[in-house]
Amino acid sequence: MHHFGFHKFGRTLMTLVAVAISAAMMLSMLSIAEGFREQSMSTIQDSHRDILVQAPGWTGLSDAHALAEELESAPEVAFASPVLVTDTNMMLTLTIHKTNTFKLAVGAGIIPSKEKEFEGEDRKTVIINNFAIEYIDDFQELEDPFADGGIPTRELMINRIFAEANDIQKGDMLGVNGVNFTVSGIFRTSFSQDGSSGVFEDILADTAFIGLHLSELQDLVGLRERDAATFIALTMDESVRSSKTIEDHANALREKYSYFYISSKADRLRDAEERTSLANVFYLAIGSVAVVIGILFLACIMIMSVYERINQIGMMRAIGISRRTIFLQTLEESTILVSLGALLGLPFGYFASEFLGNFIGANIGVSFDLTSFTPQIVVYTMLLIVGLGVLVSLYPAWKACRMDIIKSLRHVG
């Protein structure tokens, strides 16, 4: 089939490059969006926290130990672990004796033995609010002795970034709300990348993220009497653990504890999907701008190509080439151009997404892979670009086939 514009090599190449850049931009944006989504989803998916029991506010649950035991007594539940997470508003302050400086702290109170049961002896990773904490060291005391009137351990775990930024080592003494604690170990989070200086690194270097025994954190923030917790996490017994049993048990808990907010893994996945889809709109918008520019470029080239070949079109019509043939020919030309451009954009898109992923990762300081270059993204991008390319080419194709033969033949370009 004859194509009007392909003999203009430079212009054809320019169009291919424009479409390829659009495709590459769209691909990299989508792969970043998909990377965030996958990360968010897999954290929930991989977690052993099948059901969360919450009440309004950060410390909405009372009698956490007793409630956890009650929840754990159900035969289909393997473990129930109460967790207290404080925020900066709770004015948890940390004193670094060595340098005599004060920092704000965010604390997570857990029962280490419960968490170990949750995540397995070898996992050493705790998920708190979809935030992965990986222990390099461990609590010396795994139970929560202070809760039963025992002696407080006064041990805490501290985030690696904060520890390194403030020259804190294992065994150092720190004051938390005026009470002295020994650093028994270091943990790291998924928001810490070795050697990076991202925004999360900056935040985590300035704000102490600490892990304590649940009852000792309650004591520090004045919630011990109420035995407050942020949530209680449940893991189903392995023998009955399935999406259906999780959902059934969550429904049973909803009936029994109507004043609590019960969320199953599926609920949290749904929430995460909603949260990430909002971010996806943002990435999609950036990618779309690039696509629109590329496609408009293609449309302009096609219109120019048609007007430049008025004589040829006039001749073709005069010798009996039908309008349909000319229409399809113009459309075919743009389809080939846009498809080749999009194909050319694939490798660029892959490398661009890798580059952007590393760049953003290094800047915000995350250790997980920020991009996900999936076949679905490739297919979606190809369909979008080729579809739009064909759509905008309808006009030049229509113009070409409707040209007046005599005027076309007489046209002096």
Partner 1 sequence: MSLIELIGVKKLYSMGESEVKALNGVDLSIQQGEFLSIVGPSGSGKSTLLNMIGCIDTPTSGKVLLEGKDISSLGDRELTRTRLRKIGFVFQQFYLLPTLTTLENVELPMKEARVPHAQRRARAEELLSHVSLSNRAGHYPNQLSGGEQQRVAIARALANRPHLILADEPTGEVDSQTTDRIVSLLRDLHSEQGITVIIVTHDLKIADSTDRLVSLNDGRIESDVSHVRTDRGPEPVQSLVEHHKDGPEMITGKDGGGPDMVTGRDENETNRGQD
Contacts of 291 (CB under 8 A, 6+ apart): 22, 23, 25, 26, 384, 385, 388
Using the rule CB under 8 A, which residue among 54, 311, 363, 374 binds partner 1? Answer: 311
In the bound state with partner 1, the residue whose beta carbon lies nearer, of 204 and 310, is 310
Q: Using CA atoms, how far apart are residues 161 and 238, in angstroms rounded to an integer?
A: 36
Q: How far is the CB of 1 from partner 1 (least distance, A)?
A: 9
Nearer to partner 1, 3 or 275 (CB): 3
Considering only 279, 284, 336, 409, the residue that binds partner 1 (CB under 8 A) is: 409
> Is 296 or 315 the residue whose CB approaches partner 1 more closely?
315
Contact status: 304 vs partner 1 (CB under 8 A): no
Residues 72 to 91 in contact with partner 1, rule: CB under 8 A: none
Measure the CA–CA gap between 406 and 347, rounded to whole angstroms.
Answer: 46
Q: CB of residue 322 vs partner 1: minimum separation in angstroms? A: 5
Q: How buried is residue 269: exposed, middle or buried, by Cβ count under 10 Å (0-12/13-18/19+)?
A: middle
Enter the tokens of residue 67. Answer: 């409630």
Q: Is 102 in the site for partner 1 (CB under 8 A)?
A: no
| Gap between the Cα atoms of 354 and 46, Å rounded | 24
Among 57, 75, 319, 375, binds partner 1 (CB under 8 A): 319
- Is 99 buried (19+), middle (13-18) or exposed (0-12) by CB count in 10 A? exposed
Binding status of residue 325 toward partner 1 by CB under 8 A: yes
How many whole angstroms separate alpha carbon 217 and alpha carbon 165?
A: 24
With CB under 8 A as the contact rule, the residue among 10, 171, 320, 375 that binds partner 1 is 320
- Binding status of residue 13 toward partner 1 by CB under 8 A: no
Q: How far is the CB of 313 from partner 1 (least distance, A)?
A: 10
The C-alpha angle 144, 145, 150, rounded to 5 degrees, equals 155
State yes or no: residue 406 binds partner 1 (CB under 8 A). Answer: yes
Is the separation of the CB atoms in 91 and 255 below 8 Å? no
404 three-state secondary structure:
coil
**Binding range to partner 1, per CB under 8 A, among 45-53, 73-81, 385-393, 404-412:** 404-412
d(CA 276, CA 320): 56
Helix/strand/coil for 158: strand
Residues 252-281: x where in contact with partner 1 by CB under 8 A, - otherwise, as a string: ------------------------------
Task: Kindly state whether residue 2 participates in binding partner 1, applying the rule CB under 8 A.
Answer: yes
Q: Is 10 in the site for partner 1 (CB under 8 A)?
A: no
Near partner 1 by CB under 8 A: residue from 321, 340, 343, 364: 321
Among 206, 323, 359, 379, binds partner 1 (CB under 8 A): 323
Contact partners, residue 150, CB within 8 Å, separation at least 6: none
Q: Count the site residues for partner 1 by CB under 8 A.
A: 21
Question: Nearest Cα to 140, choosing from 123, 125, 157?
Answer: 157
The reply to whether 312 sits near partner 1 by the rule CB under 8 A is yes
- Please report how close the Cβ of residue 302 comes to partner 1 at its closest, in angstroms: 16
Chain CA centroid to CA 337, Å: 34
Q: Is 143 helix (H, G, I), strand (E, B) or coil?
A: coil
Smallest distance from partner 1 to CB 386, Å: 23
Q: Determine which residue in the list 7, 10, 122, 278 makes contact with partner 1, applying CB under 8 A.
A: 7
Which one, 281 or 405, has the nearer CB to partner 1? 405
Minimum CB distance to partner 1, residue 319 (Å): 5
Among 116, 160, 249, 317, binds partner 1 (CB under 8 A): 317
Q: Which is nearer to partner 1, 3 or 241 (CB)?
A: 3
| Contact residue for partner 1 among 203, 315, 328, 394 (CB under 8 A) | 315
Q: Is 335 in the site for partner 1 (CB under 8 A)?
A: no
| Interaction between residue 322 and partner 1 (CB under 8 A) | yes
Q: Is 167 left (phi over 0), alpha (psi -120 to 50) or beta?
A: left
Query: Residue 400 to residues 3, 297, 310, 332, 339: CA-CA distances in angstroms?
Result: 13, 18, 8, 13, 21
Chain-centroid distance of CA 298 in Å reads 33
Name the site residues for partner 1 (rule: CB under 8 A): 2-4, 6-7, 311-312, 314-323, 325, 405-406, 409
